[in-house]
Structure 1
Amino acid sequence: MPLPQGETPWPPKEFADAFDTMREWGAWYSGNPDHLADVYGRIGGRLVNHPQTRPSQLRGGITGTLARWFWGQPIPQGEKRSKLHVPVASDMASTSSDLLFSEKITLTSDNKGVQKQLDDLMTDDLHSTLSEAAEIAAAKSGVYLRIVWDKDVDASGPWLQAVHPDAAIPEWRYGRLTAVTFVQQLQCDAQIIVRHLERHEVVNGQGMIFHGVYVGTETSLGKPAPLAEYPEVAGLAKEVDENGAIATGIDQLTAVYVPNIKPNREWGHLPACAPFGRSDFAATEPLMDAVDEIYTSWMRDIRLAKGRIIVPEAYLQDRGPGRGATFDADREAYEGLPMLAAADGSTPLTLQQFEIRFEAHEKSALDFVGRIVTTAGYSQQSFGLTGDVAITATEVSARERKSLTTRGKKVGYFRPRLAEILHAQLKIGVVHFGWRVDASAAPDVNFPAAVQPDQASLAQTLAQLEAARAASTETKVRMLHSDWDDTEVKEEVGRILKEAGPLQVENPETFTGDPGDEPPADEPPAEK
C-alpha cells in the first residue's frame, strides 16, 4: 500500500503507548538528567516547572506513581536541582553490545565467489553498525537494520544502517515484519514539524521503497508536500515514480527488525506491539530511580558535611550599613554569632562537622545495582560487583553463566535476521552495483565464543590427548581453532603431518617382538 494521504494522528494510536515507554527508556539510556526530569515531570504531555506539589502526585494509578518517583518530584521552593544520576542503564546497554559483538562475527558461504564478497562486506564499518544496533536493541526493546545505498556517497555498494524502534511504524504478519515506514524529522519550527516518510515493502513479489514529505504538527502527520522543496530529500524527486516509489529490483524486503529479547511482558496482548520485544530496562525503572536517590542522598551528606567554623560576629568583615548580608554555603566561616569572651579574654571558635554515612549508602547502592543487573538478565561479575576477578576461562564461564545465557538468547534473535538482511544486501549489490556473485542463498552468520578458552589449559588438554592417542590431528586442530572452516582445518592438518615427517614403521623382516609373542610351531597336517 502507498504512503498515507495525510491528516493522520501521529504516532498512530496503536503505537502511542509503546512509543511513550520507549521514550522513557530512551531518557534512562541517554544518561541526561534533563531528559529524565522532562519525562517524569510531564502531566498529559505538558511539562510542569513550578515547584509546588502537583495534583498528579496525589493521584492513584500509573500517573500518580510516576509523579511520586524521585525524578518526578518537583524542586523545593528556593533550591536548585541537586539530583545526581548514575548511568546504570547505559552501562547495561553497552555491556549487552559487548557480549554480542566485542569480537567480529564471521560470514561464510560454500560459494567461493560469494565468500570473497562476504569477506569484503565484513569491514569495521559493519562491525561498528552491529555494535550500535545491539546497544539500541538492549535499550529500546529492538532495532531495525535497513539497506541504504547512494553512489554519490559510496560507489562500491550498499551498506546497513541501524534505526531506533520508535523512529518507524512497522506492519507485522504472524509476528514477522512485512512492511515498515521509517520517519525522519526534517524541520521543527514552533508548532510546525516536517517529516520524511520512507516505506519499505514487497508488492507482487517486487521490492519497493516509497518516499514522501508531510508538513504537520506534533500530534498530526499533516499534509503531503513535494520532495523537491526540501534539500535533504530533493535528490529523490528525480528517482521516484508518480506514486513516489522506487523499485529495488529484488524480491525481498530491504529492512528487518531484530527484537532484543522476547516475550514482551507489557505489550503481549497488543498485536501491533508484541513483536517489538523487551528492553533490558523493563521492570528496572523504579530500581534505577532509587539508585539515583541513594547517590543523591550520599552526595547531600558530603555537601552538608563540609567543615565550617562558627566565629564571633566581630571576626567577620562589615559590609557597610544598608548592604545586607549574603549566604555562601562554601565559605568556611559562614555564621556570625554575638559570643561573649571567656574570663581570660579569649573568644571561642566552634568547628561544625557532620558525619558522612559512607558505608550505609555504599551498601544500599551496590545492593540495588546488583538487583537491577540480575533482573535484566546479567551476572554481577559482568559489572565488577563481585569484588574478585576470574582467572581462567572456566571460572569466567561459571561466574558469568547468567550473562552468557542471556547472550545466547539474543544471538538467537540476531543471527537469522542478519542472514536475511545480508542476503538482501548481496542482491542489491548484484542489481545496482554489478557484483558478479551468486546471490541465490543466504550466507551463514557465525558468532565467536563469548569467552575465549585459556591457552595454557587448552595446550595441556591437547598434550594429554596426544599422549593418550585419544584424538586425531584434525580433532585437535578443530579444538584449537574452533572458528576455522573445513578448508583451513585441512590445510593446517596437512602442514602438521608434513612437518612431522613420515611415520617410522618397523621392517617386518627384522621385527622380533617379545619372546612370549613367538608364533606356535607348524602342526602336522591332520590325518584323513
Structure 2
Amino acid sequence: MFKNLIARIRQVMYRMGLIRGIEKVFDRKEIPIDENFYDLIDKWKALYSGYYSEFHDIEYKTISGTKKRRMATLNMPKVVSQELATLIFNEKCEINISDQTFEQNVKDVFKRNNFYKNFQHYLEYGFALGGTVIKGYADKTGVKLAYVTADCFIPLSWDNTGIREGVFVNDIKRQNKRYTHLEWHLWEGSEYVIRNELYESNGADLGVRVPLDTLFPDLEEEVKIQNLTRPLFVYIKPNTANNIDPQNPLGISIYANALDTLKSLDIAFDSFQREFRLGKKRIIVPEAAIKVAIDPLTGKGHRYFDANDEVYEAFNFDLDNDVIKDISVELRVEEHIDAINAHLNTLAMQIGFSAGTFTFDGQGVKTATEVVSENSKTFRTKQSHETVIEAAIQELVDVIGQVAELYGFFSRPAEYEVTVTFDDSVAQDKNADAQYWINLVNNRMAPRKLAIQRIFGLSEEEAAAMLEEIQKEQQTVTAQAIDLFGMTQSGGE
C-alpha cells in the first residue's frame, strides 16, 4: 500500500513538472548497447513495411509550385526476407529428439503454440530486422512460447555462447497514456532473476514507474529461479557477420548492405510506373477546336473535343484549323525492365542468392522455382543460415525442458540429442540422395547406421534402433525371400 501511495505521488509530481521521468530505456546504466544501432533496426523495419520516408518521400517543382508524392516501391525487403525464410523452414522440417517421451512432450508444446507457423513468420522478421527472440514461460495450461522482434529486445551481457541477459520492451497504449513494460532477465550469481517494471508516460519518453497491477494484476515484480543452466530465451540472428558494429552481439538485416541497391530498384520501378502516366497518348489540336459552339436552335453549347479528355492538348499557334497532330512518345518499357532486372541481380548477389533468382516481367517480381543446385550460391546461403537455426532450435528445446521441469509439467532426461532435418526438396532429389548413401554402403565406404541417419534425418540412437530392427527382420526372412534376393542363409549349403 505504501509503495502504491509513493507511486501515485510520483505521478502527480511528474505531471506538475516537479520531477522528470526517464527519457529513454537507454538511460538505464545497465544497458551497454549503443542506441544508434536501434535507429538502423528502425530503418530496416521501415523498408520491410514498404515505406521509408528518406527513400520514398519525393519533392518536385512544377509551374504550380513545390509538390510532394510517395515513390512507388517493389518492396523487395519483404520479398527477399520471406523467400529466404520459406526456403529454410517450413512444416516439412523435422525435429527429432533421442528420448521418445521427451520428444513427444516437446512436440505437444510445439503444437499448442502453433510453432511451425509462428517460427516461419518470426524467422522472416529476423532476416529483415537482424534478429528475433523466442522466450519460454508457463501458465496454467503448460509451457508457452513468446516471440519478440529485434526492436523490442535489448541485450545486457553476452559471451561466446550467446546473449546471457536481456530486457524485453513492450509498449502499450491505453486511452491517452503510453505504458512501457520492461521485463529484465538477469543472472545474480547462480540465480536467474526476472524483474518486471511498468512505466507510464503522456509523451514520447519512458515516463515514471507505476505499480504493475495498473495493467498486470497477476504479474510479480521479481522472480528468482535456482538451478537453471541457460537463459529462458533464445536469440536467433542471420548467419551474417555484423560489419556495422562488430562488438555488438545483435545481428544485422540480410539487406543491411544493400540499401543503395534497394533505393535504385525503387527509383527504377517508380520511373517504370510513371512512364505510362507521363508518356500517355498526346494529340495536338487547334485551340479553336475545343471552343464551345452554341446551337442557335437549342441554345446549348457543344465542343468539338472533350475538354476533360487527357489525350488532347490545345495549342494557340499557327495551325490550320483542320490539322490534328499526334505527338505521342514511344514508351521505354524494355529499357525499364532491363534496368530493374539488372538491379535485382545485384540485390540477389548482395544477400546471398544466385543471379536470376528474382526477375521482373513488367507485372511483378517472380522468384525462380526450379530445383536449386547444391553448388549454387542460393543453396550455400540456405545451408549457412540453417546452421545457426538448428543450434537455436536445439537451445529452444532446452528452454522448454527447463520451464517444464520448473513448473512440474514434465521432466527432461539428463542427456539427449536433438537433430533438425530441414526440407531440402527444393535443392535435392530424395531418391537420388538415398541411392547415394546406398552406393556408399554397398561399396563399404560408409556404415549402414550413418546412411540411415542421413537418409531419414535421425539421431545416432534412433538410427541404431532402426538398424537393429532391420537386422531382426532379416533374421526371420523366409527361405523364398532368401532365394529371391540372392542371400546366403546362415548355416546353409
TM superposition score category, shorter chain reference: 0.7 to 0.9
Tell me the secondary structure at the aligned position of residue 144 of structure 1: strand
Question: How far is 1:226 from its partner?
Answer: 1.2
Matched, 1:313 2:287: yes
- SS at the partner of 1:187? strand
**8 Å CA contact retained: 1:179, 1:202:** yes
- Write the mapping of 1:254-273 to structure 2, written as runs, cut at 5 A: 254-268=232-246, 271=247
Residues 458 and 135 (structure 1), Cα distance of their counterparts in 2 relative to 1, 3 Å cut: closer
The answer to whether 1:403 aligns with 2:378 is yes
Alignment partners' CA distance in 1, 2:419 and 2:23? 40
Structure 1 residues 207 and 75: CA distance shift in structure 2, 3 A = farther
Q: 2:354, 2:378 within 8 Å by CA — same for their partners in 1? A: yes
More moved, 333-342 vs 79-88: 333-342
Cα distance, 1:416–1:27 mapped onto 2, change above 3 Å: same
1:413 aligns with 2:388: yes
Residue 317 (structure 1) shift: 5.8
Whole-Å Cα distance in 2 between the matches of residues 502 and 353 of structure 1?
A: 81
Distance in 2 separating the partners of 1:99 and 1:507: 47
User: Which has more strand, going by share of residues?
Assistant: 2
Q: For residues 323-362 of structure 1, what are the alpha-carbon distances to aligned partners after superposition, in whole Å with 9 as ceiling and x for unaligned?
A: xxxx9886333436466546xxxx1222231121122211
- Secondary structure in structure 2 of the residue aligned to 1:118: helix
The partner residue of 2:314 within 335, 340, 358 is 335
Please give the per-residue CA displacement for 1:471-491, whole angstroms capped at 9, x wherever unaligned.
Answer: 887777666534584134554
d(CA) in 2 for partners of 1:500, 1:402: 51
Q: CA deviation at 1:88?
A: 0.9
Structure 2, gaps ≥5 residues long: 1-9, 11-19, 28-32, 295-305
Q: CA deviation at 1:407?
A: 2.4
Pairs within 5 Å for 1:381-396: 381-383=356-358, 396=373
Paired amino acid for 1:419: Q
User: Residue 246 of structure 1 is aligned with which of 198, 223, 238?
Assistant: 223
Instruction: Tell me the alpha carbon deviations over residues 110-141 of structure 1, each in whole angstroms, 9 at most, x when there is no partner.
Output: 33321221332343811122212221221111
Q: Is the 8 A contact 1:197 1:211 kept in 2?
A: yes
- SS state at 2:59 partner: coil
Letter in structure 2 aligned against 1:280: I
1:63 match:
none
CA contact (8 A) 2:170 2:181 kept: yes
Structure 2 match to 1:110: 98
Superposed displacement of residue 374, structure 1: 0.8
Is the alpha carbon distance of 1:219 and 1:463 closer, same or farther for their aligned partners in structure 2, counting shifts above 3 Å? closer
Check the 8 A contact 1:138/1:260 in 2, yes or no: yes
Give 1:494 deviation, angstroms.
Answer: 5.4
The alpha-carbon deviation at position 409 of structure 1 amounts to: 2.6
Question: Which amino acid is 1:132 matched to?
Answer: H
In structure 1, distance between residues paired with 2:138 and 2:170: 17
Aligned to 1:211: 196
Q: State whether structure 2 residue 11 is matched by structure 1 residue 22.
A: no
Q: 2:265 aligns with which of 286, 291, 294?
A: 291
RMSD, matched Cα? 3.9
Go from structure 1 to structure 2 and tell me whether the alpha carbon gap of 1:309 and 1:388 turns closer, same or farther (over 3 Å shift).
same
The alignment of Structure 1 onto Structure 2 pairs a total of residues equal to 441
Greater displacement, 166-175 / 73-82: 73-82
Which residue of 2 is the match for residue 167 of structure 1? Answer: 152
Q: Residue 447 of structure 1: which of 412, 421, 438 is its match? A: 421
Q: What is the letter of the counterpart of residue 263 of structure 1?
A: A
Structure of greater Rg? 1
**Post-superposition offset of 1:414:** 2.4
Note closer, same or farther for the CA distance 1:75–1:330 as it changes in structure 2 (3 Å cut).
farther
Return the alpha-carbon distance in structure 2 between the equivalents of residues 181 and 200 of structure 1: 6
Q: Structure 2 length as normaliser, TM-score?
A: 0.76
Letter in 2 for 1:260: P
Separation in 2 of the partners of 1:253 and 1:476? 36
- The separation in 2 between residues aligned to 1:161 and 1:278, in whole angstroms, is 22
Q: Cα distance 1:360–1:214, how it changes in 2: closer, same or farther (>3 A)?
A: same
User: Would you say 1:186 and 2:172 are equivalent positions?
Assistant: yes
User: 1:24-43, aligned counterparts within 5 Å?
Assistant: 24-31=43-50, 33=51, 36-37=52-53, 40=54
Q: Is the 8 A contact 2:348 2:357 kept in 1?
A: no
Give me the whole-angstrom Cα distance separating, in 2, the residues matched to 1:265 and 1:462: 40
TM-score between the two structures when normalised by the length of structure 1: 0.72
